């Protein structure tokens, strides 16, 4: 069997590429085959940790009984809002109620919508994937790697803290001054809820924008990434987010939105019409001119 490496698999370890390309083969079986039936490039035997590159032709002889089928692409129907794009990234909008990635096969998610909208750009070893996630009940902008190289690049920037994420939230009570909070958080996976005061240290910057005396519109910058970080922090401070069913006073529409991303010299803004209308009604406040009024809509 021969496989030619395309750009979607450029600069990967051989073993990781084969685990993606042959999802029906277990990890242990992959390693056994690489050891007993070696893969060759230009006649030279490759080790599992050798890297492969665009244009490489891999030559190997594996038993016919081995499942060499590629993982099928799951296609879904829905509406996708595209905010910005380049050759190596996409920024899309995630509405409330939609998961960023599926927890189980067949479940609708933002990732599947993106992959279905750009089906021609998916390959046997690459699926467009998010660089970070939003909670199911949080809306806003999500950055996707459009290519393997792009995904690798932006994941590295995320790990280095070079992708800045900003949120808008409506909270109960009044906050008057900007402040940065450093608080420990630990997620109880059985309860799917964060406990404050132990676990990983988190850092969050809070900036008040406008208040009506009983509620405040704030901008939040995540300086670390932790599940439910903003929601748990605001509840801990005595200023829960309006509509938060888990950390607030109940509700079905959580007024928390990721409205701004800064990365690699780009500043990208988006705020849904529902959120715009609510802050106009509640605070007589109009979102800044950087927020676009229209975006490209995909019906999939």
Catalytic-labelled residue, pool 6, 61, 88, 135: 135
- Residue-level length of the chain: 300
Could you confirm whether 103 is annotated as catalytic? no
Q: Please answer whether residues 257 and 272 qualify as being in contact, where contact means their C-beta atoms are separated by less than 8 angstroms.
A: yes
Q: How many CA atoms lie within 13 A of 270 on its CB side?
A: 21
Distance separating alpha carbons of residues 45 and 206, to the nearest angstrom: 55
Instruction: Write the Ramachandran bin of 110: left for phi over 0, alpha for psi from -120 to 50, otherwise beta.
Output: alpha
Residues 6+ apart with CB under 8 A from 14: 34, 39, 46, 47, 48, 49, 50, 51, 52
Catalytically active residues are 135
């Amino acid at each position: 069997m021969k496989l030619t490496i395309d750009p979607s698999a450029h600069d990967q370890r051989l073993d990781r590429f084969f685990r993606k390309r042959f999802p029906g083969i277990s990890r242990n079986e992959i390693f056994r085959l690489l050891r007993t039936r070696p893969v060759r490039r230009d006649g030279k035997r490759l080790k599992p940790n050798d890297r492969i590159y665009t244009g490489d032709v891999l030559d190997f002889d594996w038993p016919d009984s081995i499942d060499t089928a590629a993982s099928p692409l799951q296609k879904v129907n829905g509406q996708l809002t595209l905010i910005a794009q380049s050759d190596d990234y996409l920024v899309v909008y995630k509405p409330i109620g939609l998961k960023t990635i599926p927890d189980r096969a067949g479940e609708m998610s933002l990732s599947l919508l993106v992959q279905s909208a750009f089906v021609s750009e998916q390959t046997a070893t690459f699926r467009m994937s998010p660089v970070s996630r939003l909670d199911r009940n949080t809306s806003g902008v999500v950055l996707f790697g459009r290519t393997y190289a792009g995904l690798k690049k932006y994941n590295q920037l995320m790990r280095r803290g070079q992708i800045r994420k900003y949120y808008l939230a409506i909270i109960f009570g009044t906050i008057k001054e900007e402040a940065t909070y450093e608080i420990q958080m630990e997620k109880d996976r059985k309860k799917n809820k964060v406990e404050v005061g132990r676990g990983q240290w988190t850092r969050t910057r809070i900036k008040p924008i406008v208040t009506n005396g009983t509620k405040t519109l704030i901008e939040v910058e995540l300086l670390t990434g932790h599940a439910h970080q903003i929601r748990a922090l605001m509840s801990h401070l005595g200023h829960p987010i309006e509509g938060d069913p888990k950390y607030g006073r109940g509700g079905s529409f959580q007024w928390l939105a990721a409205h701004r991303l800064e990365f690699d010299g780009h500043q990208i803004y988006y705020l849904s019409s529902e959120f715009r209308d609510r802050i106009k009604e509640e605070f007589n406040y109009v979102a800044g001119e950087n927020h676009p009024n229209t975006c490209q809509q995909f019906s999939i």
